[in-house]
Amino acid sequence: MNNIIFQSIRAIAVLTIALFAFVGDVLAAPMLTPVTAKYVTENNATIVGHVSNPQKNSTVWFEIYNNNNAPTAVAVQGIWDEGTFEWNIRDLNPGQTYSYRSVAMGGGATVYSPVSSFTTLVPKQTSLTVTYQSNSHVVTPAPKVNQTVEPVVAVKKTTTTTPFVTEDGFTNKNTAAVIGPGSGIFPTTLIGWVALIIAILSATLIGRIIYESTEKRKKEDEEEDNEEVETE
Protein backbone atom coordinates (compact mmCIF):
# COMPACT_ATOMS: atom_id res chain seq x y z
CA MET A 1 0.00 0.00 0.00
CA ASN A 2 2.77 2.37 0.94
CA ASN A 3 4.58 1.51 -2.29
CA ILE A 4 1.51 2.36 -4.32
CA ILE A 5 1.14 5.74 -2.59
CA PHE A 6 4.83 6.46 -3.00
CA GLN A 7 4.79 5.64 -6.73
CA SER A 8 1.69 7.77 -7.25
CA ILE A 9 3.31 10.76 -5.52
CA ARG A 10 6.43 10.23 -7.62
CA ALA A 11 4.44 10.17 -10.87
CA ILE A 12 2.54 13.32 -9.90
CA ALA A 13 5.82 15.09 -9.14
CA VAL A 14 7.30 14.11 -12.51
CA LEU A 15 4.18 15.31 -14.32
CA THR A 16 4.25 18.57 -12.36
CA ILE A 17 7.90 19.15 -13.21
CA ALA A 18 7.23 18.37 -16.88
CA LEU A 19 4.23 20.70 -16.85
CA PHE A 20 6.25 23.52 -15.33
CA ALA A 21 9.01 22.91 -17.89
CA PHE A 22 6.49 23.08 -20.74
CA VAL A 23 4.86 26.21 -19.35
CA GLY A 24 8.29 27.76 -18.89
CA ASP A 25 9.17 27.08 -22.51
CA VAL A 26 5.87 28.56 -23.67
CA LEU A 27 6.27 31.64 -21.53
CA ALA A 28 9.87 32.03 -22.82
CA ALA A 29 8.74 32.23 -26.50
CA PRO A 30 9.70 35.53 -28.23
CA MET A 31 7.10 38.23 -28.89
CA LEU A 32 6.76 39.95 -32.30
CA THR A 33 5.14 43.26 -33.19
CA PRO A 34 3.38 43.85 -36.54
CA VAL A 35 5.80 44.49 -39.39
CA THR A 36 5.83 47.88 -41.13
CA ALA A 37 7.12 49.02 -44.54
CA LYS A 38 9.02 52.23 -45.34
CA TYR A 39 10.84 53.84 -48.25
CA VAL A 40 8.43 52.25 -50.75
CA THR A 41 9.31 53.24 -54.34
CA GLU A 42 8.61 51.80 -57.78
CA ASN A 43 11.17 48.97 -57.41
CA ASN A 44 12.31 48.97 -53.75
CA ALA A 45 10.89 48.79 -50.23
CA THR A 46 12.23 48.32 -46.69
CA ILE A 47 10.31 46.17 -44.17
CA VAL A 48 10.90 46.51 -40.42
CA GLY A 49 10.19 44.03 -37.57
CA HIS A 50 10.67 44.01 -33.79
CA VAL A 51 11.25 41.07 -31.42
CA SER A 52 11.29 40.86 -27.62
CA ASN A 53 12.61 37.85 -25.64
CA PRO A 54 14.11 38.95 -22.29
CA GLN A 55 17.48 37.43 -21.47
CA LYS A 56 17.22 34.93 -24.29
CA ASN A 57 18.42 34.61 -27.87
CA SER A 58 15.89 34.62 -30.73
CA THR A 59 16.33 33.71 -34.37
CA VAL A 60 14.28 36.00 -36.60
CA TRP A 61 13.58 36.37 -40.35
CA PHE A 62 10.99 37.63 -42.84
CA GLU A 63 8.69 35.65 -45.10
CA ILE A 64 7.69 37.41 -48.35
CA TYR A 65 4.72 36.28 -50.45
CA ASN A 66 4.72 37.00 -54.18
CA ASN A 67 1.89 36.08 -56.57
CA ASN A 68 0.37 33.59 -54.07
CA ASN A 69 3.48 31.42 -54.23
CA ALA A 70 5.26 29.79 -51.29
CA PRO A 71 6.85 32.40 -48.99
CA THR A 72 10.52 33.24 -49.37
CA ALA A 73 12.58 33.49 -46.16
CA VAL A 74 15.05 36.39 -46.10
CA ALA A 75 17.22 38.24 -43.58
CA VAL A 76 17.76 35.34 -41.15
CA GLN A 77 19.64 36.64 -38.07
CA GLY A 78 19.92 36.27 -34.29
CA ILE A 79 18.91 38.90 -31.73
CA TRP A 80 19.59 38.78 -28.00
CA ASP A 81 16.93 40.01 -25.61
CA GLU A 82 15.15 42.65 -27.72
CA GLY A 83 15.79 44.49 -30.96
CA THR A 84 14.64 45.76 -34.36
CA PHE A 85 15.53 44.07 -37.63
CA GLU A 86 14.85 45.16 -41.23
CA TRP A 87 15.40 44.13 -44.83
CA ASN A 88 15.61 46.12 -48.08
CA ILE A 89 13.73 44.38 -50.91
CA ARG A 90 14.91 45.24 -54.45
CA ASP A 91 13.95 44.55 -58.07
CA LEU A 92 10.21 44.79 -57.42
CA ASN A 93 7.59 45.42 -60.07
CA PRO A 94 5.90 48.85 -60.16
CA GLY A 95 2.28 48.98 -59.05
CA GLN A 96 2.27 45.47 -57.50
CA THR A 97 1.16 44.42 -54.00
CA TYR A 98 3.50 42.29 -51.86
CA SER A 99 2.57 40.51 -48.58
CA TYR A 100 5.03 39.74 -45.78
CA ARG A 101 5.38 38.79 -42.11
CA SER A 102 8.13 38.28 -39.53
CA VAL A 103 9.02 34.99 -37.83
CA ALA A 104 10.88 34.42 -34.53
CA MET A 105 12.05 31.17 -32.98
CA GLY A 106 13.28 30.87 -29.40
CA GLY A 107 12.80 28.71 -26.28
CA GLY A 108 11.64 25.82 -28.42
CA ALA A 109 8.73 27.83 -29.88
CA THR A 110 8.18 29.55 -33.24
CA VAL A 111 5.92 32.59 -33.44
CA TYR A 112 4.59 34.59 -36.41
CA SER A 113 3.53 38.20 -36.76
CA PRO A 114 0.31 39.22 -38.55
CA VAL A 115 0.59 39.34 -42.37
CA SER A 116 1.03 42.87 -43.73
CA SER A 117 1.30 44.19 -47.29
CA PHE A 118 2.52 47.16 -49.32
CA THR A 119 2.08 48.30 -52.94
CA THR A 120 4.95 49.69 -54.99
CA LEU A 121 4.52 53.04 -56.67
CA VAL A 122 3.39 53.50 -60.27
CA PRO A 123 5.53 55.70 -62.55
CA LYS A 124 3.93 59.04 -63.25
CA GLN A 125 2.70 59.41 -66.79
CA THR A 126 3.96 62.62 -68.35
CA SER A 127 1.41 63.97 -70.77
CA LEU A 128 2.74 65.98 -73.67
CA THR A 129 0.31 68.28 -75.37
CA VAL A 130 1.33 69.29 -78.87
CA THR A 131 -0.45 72.22 -80.44
CA TYR A 132 -0.27 72.47 -84.18
CA GLN A 133 -0.55 75.94 -85.63
CA SER A 134 -1.51 76.31 -89.23
CA ASN A 135 0.81 78.37 -91.41
CA SER A 136 -2.01 79.46 -93.69
CA HIS A 137 -3.06 83.07 -93.49
CA VAL A 138 -6.51 84.34 -94.26
CA VAL A 139 -6.21 87.31 -96.56
CA THR A 140 -9.11 89.70 -96.39
CA PRO A 141 -9.44 91.57 -99.66
CA ALA A 142 -9.40 95.31 -99.38
CA PRO A 143 -12.69 97.04 -100.14
CA LYS A 144 -12.98 97.98 -103.75
CA VAL A 145 -13.13 101.71 -104.31
CA ASN A 146 -14.68 102.99 -107.48
CA GLN A 147 -12.40 105.67 -108.82
CA THR A 148 -13.32 107.92 -111.70
CA VAL A 149 -10.33 108.35 -113.96
CA GLU A 150 -10.41 111.52 -115.96
CA PRO A 151 -8.96 111.20 -119.45
CA VAL A 152 -5.60 112.86 -119.93
CA VAL A 153 -5.40 114.95 -123.06
CA ALA A 154 -1.95 114.93 -124.56
CA VAL A 155 -0.92 118.36 -125.81
CA LYS A 156 1.33 118.20 -128.78
CA LYS A 157 3.91 120.96 -128.87
CA THR A 158 4.51 122.36 -132.30
CA THR A 159 7.93 123.79 -133.02
CA THR A 160 8.35 126.13 -135.94
CA THR A 161 11.65 125.52 -137.64
CA THR A 162 13.22 128.21 -139.77
CA PRO A 163 15.06 126.68 -142.70
CA PHE A 164 18.79 127.33 -142.70
CA VAL A 165 20.45 127.75 -146.07
CA THR A 166 23.96 126.37 -146.28
CA GLU A 167 26.76 127.69 -148.46
CA ASP A 168 26.08 125.10 -151.13
CA GLY A 169 22.51 126.32 -151.48
CA PHE A 170 20.78 123.38 -149.71
CA THR A 171 18.29 123.91 -146.95
CA ASN A 172 19.15 122.19 -143.63
CA LYS A 173 15.90 121.94 -141.63
CA ASN A 174 17.53 120.22 -138.62
CA THR A 175 20.05 123.02 -137.95
CA ALA A 176 17.40 125.54 -136.88
CA ALA A 177 16.49 123.52 -133.80
CA VAL A 178 20.14 123.57 -132.64
CA ILE A 179 21.40 127.07 -133.36
CA GLY A 180 18.18 128.97 -133.92
CA PRO A 181 17.68 132.14 -131.84
CA GLY A 182 14.43 130.91 -130.36
CA SER A 183 11.29 132.88 -129.82
CA GLY A 184 12.83 135.55 -127.48
CA ILE A 185 15.72 138.04 -127.61
CA PHE A 186 18.32 135.63 -126.19
CA PRO A 187 19.10 132.20 -127.61
CA THR A 188 17.64 129.12 -125.92
CA THR A 189 20.38 126.61 -126.78
CA LEU A 190 24.06 126.25 -125.91
CA ILE A 191 25.14 126.60 -129.52
CA GLY A 192 23.11 129.80 -129.79
CA TRP A 193 24.89 131.30 -126.76
CA VAL A 194 28.30 130.33 -128.16
CA ALA A 195 27.43 131.92 -131.48
CA LEU A 196 26.24 135.10 -129.73
CA ILE A 197 29.46 135.39 -127.69
CA ILE A 198 31.59 134.87 -130.79
CA ALA A 199 29.60 137.53 -132.62
CA ILE A 200 30.05 140.02 -129.75
CA LEU A 201 33.81 139.36 -129.54
CA SER A 202 34.16 139.68 -133.30
CA ALA A 203 32.27 142.98 -133.33
CA THR A 204 34.40 144.30 -130.45
CA LEU A 205 37.62 143.28 -132.20
CA ILE A 206 36.55 144.85 -135.49
CA GLY A 207 35.53 148.04 -133.70
CA ARG A 208 38.89 148.23 -131.96
CA ILE A 209 40.77 147.71 -135.22
CA ILE A 210 38.76 150.47 -136.89
CA TYR A 211 39.33 152.78 -133.91
CA GLU A 212 43.08 152.17 -133.86
CA SER A 213 43.32 152.67 -137.64
CA THR A 214 41.43 155.95 -137.37
CA GLU A 215 43.63 157.21 -134.56
CA LYS A 216 46.75 156.23 -136.45
CA ARG A 217 45.64 158.12 -139.56
CA LYS A 218 44.84 161.21 -137.52
CA LYS A 219 48.26 161.11 -135.94
CA GLU A 220 49.96 160.73 -139.31
CA ASP A 221 47.95 163.64 -140.73
CA GLU A 222 48.94 165.85 -137.81
CA GLU A 223 52.59 164.95 -138.25
CA GLU A 224 52.43 165.81 -141.98
CA ASP A 225 50.79 169.14 -141.23
CA ASN A 226 53.49 169.97 -138.68
CA GLU A 227 56.25 169.14 -141.16
CA GLU A 228 54.70 171.38 -143.81
CA VAL A 229 54.48 174.26 -141.37
CA GLU A 230 58.09 173.88 -140.39
CA THR A 231 59.16 173.76 -144.03
CA GLU A 232 57.45 177.06 -144.86
Output the tens digit of pLDDT for each of the chain's 232 residues: 556 665 667 667 666 676 555 555 555 789 999 899 999 999 999 999 999 999 899 999 999 987 767 888 999 999 999 999 999 999 999 999 999 999 999 988 999 999 999 999 998 877 666 666 655 555 556 666 566 656 555 555 555 555 544 454 444 444 444 444 445 567 777 787 788 889 899 889 898 899 988 988 888 888 888 877 777 6
Residue 34 belongs to some domain of the structure: yes
pLDDT per position as a tens digit, 172-200: 444 444 444 445 567 777 787 788 889 89
**At 22, which amino acid appears?**
F
Are the C-beta atoms of residues 53 and 28 closer than 8 Å to each other?
A: yes
- Domain of 206 in residue numbering reads as 176-228
Number of other CB atoms surrounding residue 45 within 10 Å: 22
Burial class (CB in 10 A: 0-12, 13-18, 19+), 98: buried
Q: For residue 47, give the nearest of 85, 95, 93, 104 by alpha carbon.
A: 85
Residue 216 belongs to some domain of the structure: yes
**At 24, which amino acid appears?**
G
The pTM (predicted TM-score) of the whole model is 0.45
For the chain, the domain total comes to: 2
pLDDT at 65: 87
Q: How far apart are CA 21 and CA 231, in angstroms?
A: 203
Residue 74 belongs to some domain of the structure: yes
CATH number, domain with residue 55? 2.60.40.10
Domain end marker among 80, 96, 119: 119
pLDDT at 57: 92
Task: Enumerate residues 6+ apart whose C-beta is below 8 A from 49.
Answer: 32, 33, 35, 60, 62, 84, 85, 86, 102, 113
